[in-house]
Amino acid sequence: MTSAWRVSLVVLVAGCASGAPAGGPANPQPANPLPGAEPTRPEPSREVVLGYPRSGAGIVHYAFVRRDSVVATMPSGEQQVQVLARTAYLTLTWVAADSGAKITTTIDSVVADSGLVLPLMVLDSARGTRWTALRPPAGGLTGLTGNRSSLIGDQVRDQLALLFPRLPADGLRPGAHWTDSTQASARVSAFEAIETSLVSSDAGELLSTGGLPIQVTIARSATGEASQFGQPITLKAAGSDTLSYQFGADGRILEASGRRWTSLVVELAAIGQSVPANEISSISMTLLR
């Protein structure tokens, strides 16, 4: 099989007024009141509403882990299997305001997972990549721009966007359900594409830490165009994500993990051939400090 066929597919109450019974004393007292003691009154209950910070600034560090497994079926019927697994260490700075937070993120280093060997140039191409973006008050990222592009760097960029799940406009409450849709540039396997996502989210019960768990499912579709070996290439893809978040009481994502599945077809229109592929990615994002 010639190199032209080897398309590269590497790849977050009011107090209880006790009415006296009919005929009872107007001001009932405890049976044995303590001298000088005031009657105990129940504390008013307060509704839990969480959200992203709207003031202040900070620096946090995350480890982004991603493992991709791609199975492509070539026109000859031969199947190619490629695995790419790596951990990227990031430094993220933020400055918050009522209008949102300015986010700056830098890749400090990237290491290949144990047992896998990645070319040094592939790892080095991502190191030092920096992005700036605005995190709106309800989450997500807008205006995301970087100082350079690379395969691993662009995949970290897409994972970064997942670090700020969109919340209900009136705040995050226990048991809440909400939906959203987005459209943005994304790296689908080895190709840049425009991706549309339909997002469904559910918040769980309050944790002992004061935070909330969030479960998110995403249905994705994407299209893109590129060229390889001088041949024009068209990409069509569809996929789904299942993500779990721990949203901290201070508005930080303490941990996130999930699985992404993508089915795609790479079409070489000039010669009327296509290469279908399936990609399964497992991802995690952990707050280090």
Q: What is the DSSP string of 49-73?
A: -B---SS-EEEEEEEEEEEEEEEEE
Q: Is residue 258 part of a domain?
A: yes
CA pair distance 207, 122, nearest whole angstrom? 40
What's the half-sphere exposure (Cβ side, CA atoms, 13 Å) at 5?
13
Q: Is residue 232 part of a domain?
A: yes
Q: Is residue 30 part of a domain?
A: no
Residues contacting 266, CB < 8 A, separation 6+: 7, 9, 191, 233, 234, 235, 274, 275, 276, 277
Q: Is residue 31 part of a domain?
A: no
What domain range is 78 assigned to?
A: 57-287
Residue 157: closest CA among 146, 173, 166: 146
Q: Is residue 17 part of a domain?
A: no
Torsion sign across C-alpha atoms 216, 284, 145, 164: positive
Q: Tell me, what's the pLDDT at 117?
A: 57
pLDDT tens for the chain, 289 residues long, are: 443 334 333 332 333 333 444 444 445 554 555 554 455 554 444 688 999 999 999 999 999 999 988 888 887 888 888 888 889 999 999 999 999 999 999 999 998 876 565 655 666 778 899 999 999 999 999 999 999 888 888 889 988 988 999 999 999 999 999 999 988 888 887 778 899 999 999 999 999 999 999 999 999 999 988 777 777 888 899 999 999 999 999 999 999 999 999 998 988 877 778 889 999 999 999 999 8
Taking the model in full, what pTM does it have?
A: 0.76
- CATH number of the structural domain spanning residue 108: 2.30.230
CA pair distance 244, 249, nearest whole angstrom? 16
In 142-266, alpha helices (H): 151-162
Across the beta sheet with 231-247, the strand order is 142-146, 130-135, 100-112, 79-97, 57-73, 273-287, 253-268, 231-247, 212-228, 191-203, 177-188
Dihedral Cα 115, 120, 121, 124, nearest 10 deg: 100
* Host H or E run for residue 120: helix 120-124
| Total domains in the fold of the chain | 1
Dihedral Cα 241, 184, 93, 217, nearest 10 deg: -20
- List the structure tokens of 274: 């296509």
Q: Is residue 40 part of a domain?
A: no
Residues 68 and 83 sit within 8 Å (Cβ to Cβ)? yes
